[in-house]
Structure 1
Amino acid sequence: MNVKSPKIMILYASYGDGHYRASKAIEACFRSKGIHDVVLLDLMAESHPRLNEFTKFIYLTSFQALPFLYGWIYNATKDLRSESALLRAVNAIGTGTLKKAIRQHEPDLVIHTFPQLILPELSKRASLSLPMVNVITDFDVHARWLHSGVHRYYVATEDMKREMIERGVPAERILVSGIPLRPDFGRDEQPPADTGIGLTLNPGKKTILLMAGAYGVMQGNREICEALLAGGDYQILAVCGRNQELYQGLASDFGDHPDIHLFGFVDEVAEFMLASDCMITKPGGITLSEALACRLPLFLYRPVPGQELNNARYLEKKGIARIAADPVSLRAEIDALLQDGGQLSTVMANMENLRKPMAAEVIVNDILEQWFQSASRKPVTAQIGSAPPRLVIH
């Protein structure tokens, strides 16, 4: 019996860059297996573009102006139940757009890489039987990801799975896959001295990758560079993301310094990581997973309260990352690690316990296995206004 390939819809959001990168990694993996009917939808941007831009502005501004307020809101809502009035209101935003998209694309499965769970409520109201899975893109579990209508969860760690079970999610619905990354993060080899990213590095100096985030919102970059360049022991790859002001400011301060190389937004993230001895960054879930895949020691600078601080604390607890609050202590932490082979070996060993560079492959293989097992038994369609047979994801 020939079983048709599934139509996939991936819902993401453009707050930061991580949710989109996870979505593209999953899409690429599906396409590599001959599943080409895959559509990505930035639901908030499509349904409420002005509100989307406003909330993105507030989100990015919070890293600079109101980080503790954002963290308070995040932690205050972390353990809410999906039936709470607040979460139901938040998850209602974009209902009309999603309904229209489902009618247009007729997906067989919906994947969330951002916690905007409109579909469970829509499924009840529209008599829609459409499987949905959540790919959690942090090392922390928030209530917004959890809903009884979700058929499958893909998570980064066994610790997350245990926490979700304690919060009432059936164990059989949770697979510890890791966070999905692009295929180039599955490589183990180091690049040559001529890195292929437009420069030749000095093999006599340790290379430190400074990544300020996709929008360049990490604070203290100039002070960090000053501390690291003192003494001439290190060379820096400073990636400023889409923050032109940051790029121009660093260029003005350090443009003639031979040991600092400035970049804006880059796509060759794996190349940069593989060329480096350690990284200083903000602790977004995707960036942390990419560093783990590349076995790159992590220094997390002034993490913002909320999921990023929780990510940072988790990796610090696991002996993988170190948190620093000022340039002097950051420099001291880097010196201590890079000059102590025993400490460095311990960090590398701890990384092996968490790194999952093939997470996208694990997720897609699991979805397709469930699909072909179920679809071979009965046809599956998904149209609003009808009640088709349910694809069971075990």
Structure 2
Amino acid sequence: MCDILFLVASYGTGHIKVALALQSAILTLNPGLNTKIVDFIELIDPYLNEISQWVFMMILKYYPSLWGRFFKKTENISIDSFRHNFLNVLGSEKLVDLLEREKPRVIVCTYPIQVGVLSRLKRLNIIDIPVVSVVTDIAVHSFWLHPYVDLYIVANEMAKEILISKGVPPYKVADTGIPIEPKFAEPFDREKAFDIFGLRKDLPVVSAMMGGYGLESKLMEVAEVLMDIDLPFQGVIVTGRNEKLKKILSEKIRGKDHIKVFGYVEYNIELLGISNVLITKAGAVTISEALAMETPMILYGVIPGHEEENAQFLLRNNSALIAYNPSELREKIELLLTDDKIIEMIKDSARRIKKPDSATEGAKLILNLLKSR
């Protein structure tokens, strides 16, 4: 049994990171609660989970424009559409079995499919449990919208206004920000951070974190650009859990002692805190973390669809630069390493729109729902 059940999905790490951030904040505020995180697609069928992740990765790697077209085509479809109705029955029986076993008092979703399934179960009076939909992108796709959601947690006021314009009552929408680890709101040890990564304190740091899902070629391009820049700096390339890519890149930069390659990094806060430049695609969690640390970003390898919307938000607010090819990437890196006015403009924007307390503020709202039960 649990008080709060988190339903996530493993299409990228962002949905899980958001759940972990909220879980951490909730347990800090109320340590006595019992919480549980369950991968919804894994619950339905482990094989389905594995094959669907592989298909998604292949689409993003070889046919990213296809994903972009699908995203745009379904962005504003009706909740009564065939697609919605098909997805809303997915895994219903197994989910009901889980809910009967765990008996959660609140359910928090960080992926849209399970939101629709739960909304249908509530409509049919099969369950009567508050549902929180945590939108893990800056844009709000139609797949997140369902009538029996009790609370939406969204990135910003723009996202809130979009939901309200689509008929969601204002009291159901909180623009507390995409939840990131509560530690992002706390001071960090800057001196220790340089030591963790073996970096000098007298040179600027250019970091690259591109996430997974078939973006190996983009990180290779980043490495080649960094190797070719003559300005004084030190580079950090993060490959995540892709050990094969880490090995390839480590070989590639051999002899370039000012560039380091790391695999999975637990010290995101420290790395973002000491980075003068972050090269990243426009994943919502990473950009929210970078904004919290006021780290100037260059967007590169942006995935069509949801990440394009995230990127446009940053560009409209002068919170990042964007590059579409290696030549532009080099130009933007050199600009941020030499132009203090551009850096200050980006940092000023980050100060204005960042939400480092997003997990704690979201946790408070979830706990309020819990008290009402």
- Normalising by structure 2, we get a TM-score of 0.94
Relative distance call for 1:16 and 1:247 in structure 2 (3 A) is: same
The answer to whether structure 1 residue 105 and structure 2 residue 120 are counterparts is no
Q: In 1, Cα distance between the equivalents of 2:319 and 2:176?
A: 19
Relative distance call for 1:214 and 1:186 in structure 2 (3 A) is: farther
Q: Which residue of 2 aligns with 1:234?
A: 233
Secondary structure at the counterpart of residue 140 of structure 1: coil
Match of 2:22 among 13, 16, 26: 26
Larger Rg: 1
The answer to whether structure 1 residue 53 and structure 2 residue 50 are counterparts is yes
Once the two structures are TM-superposed, the CA of residue 90 in structure 1 deviates from its matched residue by 1.4
Q: In 1, Cα distance between the equivalents of 2:193 and 2:288?
A: 25
Q: Which residue of 1 aligns with 2:345?
A: 346
Q: Which residue of 1 aligns with 2:123?
A: 124
Unaligned runs of 5+ in 2: none
Secondary structure at the counterpart of residue 39 of structure 1: strand
Once the two structures are TM-superposed, the CA of residue 36 in structure 1 deviates from its matched residue by 2.5
Greater alpha carbon shift after TM alignment, 359-368 vs 337-346:
337-346
Once the two structures are TM-superposed, the CA of residue 205 in structure 1 deviates from its matched residue by 2.3
Q: In 1, Cα distance between the equivalents of 2:77 and 2:169?
A: 18
Structure with a larger share of its residues in helix: 2
Q: Which residue of 2 aligns with 1:3?
A: none
Q: In 2, Cα distance between the equivalents of 1:180 and 1:71?
A: 25
Once the two structures are TM-superposed, the CA of residue 202 in structure 1 deviates from its matched residue by 2.4
Q: Which residue of 2 aligns with 1:384?
A: none
Aligned ranges 1:124-273 → 2 under 5 Å: 124-189=123-188, 191-192=190-191, 195-197=194-196, 199-214=197-212, 217=215, 219-230=217-228, 231-273=230-272
Q: Which residue of 2 aligns with 1:377?
A: none
Secondary structure at the counterpart of residue 352 of structure 1: helix
Report sequence identity in percent.
30
Q: Is the 8 A contact 1:109 1:131 kept in 2?
A: yes
Q: Is the 8 A contact 1:77 1:143 kept in 2?
A: yes
The answer to whether structure 1 residue 303 and structure 2 residue 302 are counterparts is yes
Q: Which residue of 2 aligns with 1:13?
A: 9
Q: Which residue of 1 aligns with 2:112?
A: 115
Q: Which residue of 2 aligns with 1:78?
A: 75
Q: Is the 8 A contact 1:18 1:286 kept in 2?
A: yes
Once the two structures are TM-superposed, the CA of residue 234 in structure 1 deviates from its matched residue by 2.1
Match of 1:43 among 27, 40, 46: 40
Q: Is the 8 A contact 2:238 2:265 kept in 1?
A: yes
Q: In 2, Cα distance between the equivalents of 1:92 and 1:194?
A: 47
Q: In 2, Cα distance between the equivalents of 1:218 and 1:315?
A: 24
Q: Is the 8 A contact 1:114 1:136 kept in 2?
A: yes
Q: Which residue of 2 aligns with 1:385?
A: none
Once the two structures are TM-superposed, the CA of residue 114 in structure 1 deviates from its matched residue by 0.7
Count of aligned pairs between the two proteins: 369
Once the two structures are TM-superposed, the CA of residue 61 in structure 1 deviates from its matched residue by 1.6
Cα deviation digits, residues 207-236 of structure 1 (max 9, x gap): 111112045625322232222232142211
Q: In 2, Cα distance between the equivalents of 1:355 and 1:30?
A: 21
What letter corresponds to residue 326 of structure 2 in structure 1?
A: P
Secondary structure at the counterpart of residue 9 of structure 1: strand
Greater alpha carbon shift after TM alignment, 122-131 vs 292-301:
122-131
Q: Which residue of 1 aligns with 2:321?
A: 322
Q: CA RMSD in A?
A: 1.8
Q: Which residue of 1 aligns with 2:276?
A: 277
Cα deviation digits, residues 343-373 of structure 1 (max 9, x gap): 211111111122111111101112223433x
Secondary structure at the counterpart of residue 195 of structure 1: helix
Q: In 1, Cα distance between the equivalents of 2:221 and 2:40?
A: 38
Q: Is the 8 A contact 2:180 2:356 kept in 1?
A: yes
Q: Which residue of 2 aligns with 1:87?
A: 84
Q: In 2, Cα distance between the equivalents of 1:309 and 1:256?
A: 36
Relative distance call for 1:279 and 1:216 in structure 2 (3 A) is: farther
Q: In 1, Cα distance between the equivalents of 2:307 and 2:216?
A: 12
Q: In 1, Cα distance between the equivalents of 2:285 and 2:125?
A: 34
Q: In 2, Cα distance between the equivalents of 1:29 and 1:295?
A: 22
What letter corresponds to residue 205 of structure 1 in structure 2?
A: L
Q: In 2, Cα distance between the equivalents of 1:35 and 1:110?
A: 17
Q: In 1, Cα distance between the equivalents of 2:130 and 2:60?
A: 35
Q: Is the 8 A contact 2:26 2:367 kept in 1?
A: no
Secondary structure at the counterpart of residue 61 of structure 2: coil
Cα deviation digits, residues 103-149 of structure 1 (max 9, x gap): 00101111111111211111233432111111111111100111111
Unaligned runs of 5+ in 1: 1-5, 375-379, 381-394
Relative distance call for 1:294 and 1:218 in structure 2 (3 A) is: farther
Q: Is the 8 A contact 1:9 1:109 kept in 2?
A: yes
